Amino acid sequence: MSQGLRLVLFGPPGAGKGTQAQLLKDWLKVPHISSGDLFRHHLRQGTPLGLEAKGYMNKGELVPDSVTIDIVLDKVLSISDDEGFILDGFPRNPHQANELEKALVGNSRNVDKVVHIHVSQPELLRRLGGRLVCRGCQAPSSLGEGEDIGSKKCSQCGGELYQREDDNPEAVKRRIEIYREETEPVLGFYRERGVLVDIPGDNTVDEVNKQVISAIAP
């Protein structure tokens, strides 16, 4: 491949986008851009943008487009044309999808593939309730039967794990609602462009990974 793949990982919170992105970025050798990680980075640094985003994030609401679009597109456009990317968490509404297309097409071409990982509602709730994230590398993981957060470390880098503030039951419920109302309509946008692939995401991480890989293989 002379030009790197431009991939969007799409799906509800808890679908496994972050987990799949971690696996794919080593295989595809393209950078991973996660809008949620960008916001959490600003939050940790205590930037004005981080402080603004925090209120929305902790309630499970979308951060306003006026903030989000600039910071994500800045990052996307900082990557050279032939490098490709894995974008996760963006676009989350039709306006963001339009703005991404304008920015990319102005430069060269739109995204190549949008992989939609769909997962049933009970499974999403189960996963988000037990989800942990690494402070070091941001990789997600989960607590197994009988494990406790104090003794478990990140399997990627050995870093400390924590539970995200927005993985509390109220915010989880709101994030799923917003996904249904605002984010799902973006599927139509990409279906029309012929780049959408649907993948069942209830299976194991490895099983889903195999399906993602076969969906994006040339």
Which residues are at the interface with Zn ion (CB under 5 A)? 134, 136-137, 139, 154, 156-157, 159
Which tokens hold the place of 204?
């194991």
| DSSP code at position 91 | -
Question: Under rule CB under 6 A, how many of the chain's residues touch ligand ADP?
Answer: 17
CB under 6 A: which stretch of 22-30, 33-41, 152-160, 196-204 binds ligand ADP?
33-41
**Distances in Å between the alpha carbon of 51 and those of 43, 61, 68, 106?**
6, 14, 13, 32
13 binds ligand ADP (CB under 6 A): yes
Of residues 30, 57, 87, 115, which one binds ligand ADP by CB under 6 A? Answer: 57
Q: How far is the CB of 83 from ligand ADP (least distance, A)?
A: 21
**Distances in Å between the alpha carbon of 101 and those of 51, 85, 104, 120, 218?**
28, 14, 5, 29, 22
Among 40, 54, 92, 127, the active-site one is 92
Which tokens hold the place of 80?
């050279």
Of residues 49, 97, 166, 190, which one binds ligand ADP by CB under 6 A? Answer: 166
CB 137 within 8 A of CB 156: yes
Residue nearest to ligand ADP (CB): 36
Kind plus residue range of the DSSP H or E element containing 85 = strand 85-88
60 binds ligand ADP (CB under 6 A): yes
3-class DSSP state for residue 11? coil
Chain positions contacting ligand ADP, by CB under 6 A: 13, 35-36, 39, 56-57, 60-63, 68, 89-90, 92, 96, 166, 175
